[in-house]
Amino acid sequence: MIVLERINYLDELADQIQYYDEVLTQSARNYAFTGDRKWRDRYTDTEPKLELVINEAIDEGNEEEKALFSSIDASNVYLITGGVKQKPRIL
């Protein structure tokens, strides 16, 4: 893969990571406020998509990029397993 193509691809993955993170955050918040299961389902459906995109970014990145996306992955795991978003208590 040409360097510019790889950079563009990683930029696209970063945009997807941001989008999925926003969906998860909004879904958790809306579920907490409304108790409507559609938000829980949206969260549950989106969570594996985010994980997939993060793993793809880690696989495609150079060492510096792998470190960045690995850090994002670690933060995501923390949030999903009971950190700030507290999925087990809310969802």
Condensed to tens digits (0 to 9), the pLDDT of residues 24-73 reads 999 999 999 999 999 999 999 999 999 999 999 999 988 999 898 999 98
Weakest-pLDDT range from 17-21, 22-26, 50-54, 82-86: 82-86
As a whole number of Å, the end-to-end CA separation of the chain is 40
In this structure, what are the phi and psi dihedrals at residue 28, rounded to the nearest 5 degrees?
-65, -45
What gap in Å lies between CA 24 and CA 78, rounded to an integer?
Answer: 13
Tell me how far apart the alpha carbons of residues 17 and 85 are, in angstroms, rounded to a whole number: 16
Domain positions in the chain are 3-84
pLDDT at 9: 95
How sure is the predictor about 89, in pLDDT bands with cuts at 50, 70 and 90? low
Question: Is pTM, for the whole model, over 0.75?
Answer: yes
Q: What's the CA gap between 70 and 8, in Å, rounded?
A: 19
Q: What single letter denotes the amino acid at residue 68? A: L
Position 16 pLDDT exceeds 60: yes
